[in-house]
């Protein structure tokens, strides 16, 4: 069971396979792992003890960042993310990044960005579409049409609580969609990065 895996100079944390989205482009539909990792499909949801046992095998100071990103939405396990961050902070000054779909407020029915402020240095939010209609068609969120507005609110809350916030979009968008995403990100004063699917 792969809980931790490396990509380049970062250590990635795979805590869950749960996700409220079924994105049309999701890499999980194509392969069991990424960048040479073993399968990221978990046999069970790892406990805090199991996760920390894995961390004990790594020298955190040898990595540029620890990234919460696996084959699921990390904030499905919000409390576990926070506990793991506490462990990392006690061990190292390594940068902590969260890659998220931005729907954790809907998952937990409360504002979640303020809970992360003490622990997360950088958050990357999957925007992937410039408006609710396109987002719903592309991400197919289980929460339906309210998802896009919730994502934008989460992003605004992150801007207030976490110093480094980035929107990402996949490189499948049309030129018009990409330009619209750039305008939206600019209006919100949030960086935008176009990322490849893999």
Q: Who wins on pLDDT, 61 or 33?
A: 61
Question: Which tens digits make up the pLDDT trace of 116-136?
Answer: 999 999 999 999 999 999 999
In the chain, domain spans: 4-195
pLDDT class for 35, splitting at 50, 70, 90?
low
The two beta strands, 95-100 and 65-68, are: parallel
* Coil, strand or helix at 110: coil
* Coil, strand or helix at 135: helix
Angstrom distance (rounded) from CA 83 to CA 66: 14
**Residue with the two structure tokens 């955190």:** 60
Contact 161, 114 (CB under 8 A): yes
**Confidence (pLDDT) at 130:** 96
Contacts of 13 (CB under 8 A, 6+ apart): 3, 4, 51, 66, 67, 68, 69, 70, 74, 84
Angstrom distance (rounded) from CA 137 to CA 135: 5
Superfamily of segment(s) 4-195: Aldolase class I (3.20.20.70)
Q: What sign results for the dihedral spanned by CA atoms 188, 128, 1, 64?
A: negative
Angstrom distance (rounded) from CA 26 to CA 71: 10
Angstrom distance (rounded) from CA 121 to CA 98: 8
Question: Which tens digits make up the pLDDT trace of 138-188?
Answer: 999 999 999 999 999 999 999 999 989 999 999 888 999 999 999 999 999
């Amino acid at each position: 069971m792969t809980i931790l895996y490396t990509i380049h100079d970062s250590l990635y944390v795979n805590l869950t396979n749960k996700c409220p989205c079924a994105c049309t482009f999701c890499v999980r539909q194509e392969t069991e792992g990424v960048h040479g990792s073993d399968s990221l499909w978990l046999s069970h949801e790892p406990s805090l003890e199991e996760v920390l046992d894995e961390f004990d095998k790594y020298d955190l100071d040898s990595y540029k960042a620890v990234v919460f990103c696996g084959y699921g939405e990390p904030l499905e396990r919000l409390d576990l993310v926070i506990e793991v961050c506490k462990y990392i902070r006690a061990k190292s000054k390594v940068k902590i990044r969260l890659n998220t779909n931005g729907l954790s407020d809907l998952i937990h029915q409360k504002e979640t960005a303020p809970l992360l402020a003490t622990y997360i240095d950088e958050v990357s939010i999957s925007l992937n579409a410039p408006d609710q209609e396109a987002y719903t068609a592309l991400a197919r969120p289980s929460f339906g049409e309210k998802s896009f507005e919730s994502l934008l609110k989460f992003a605004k809350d992150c801007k207030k609580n976490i110093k480094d916030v980035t929107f990402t979009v996949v490189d499948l968008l049309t030129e018009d969609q990409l330009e619209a995403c750039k305008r939206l990100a600019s209006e919100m004063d949030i960086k935008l990065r176009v990322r490849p699917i893999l």
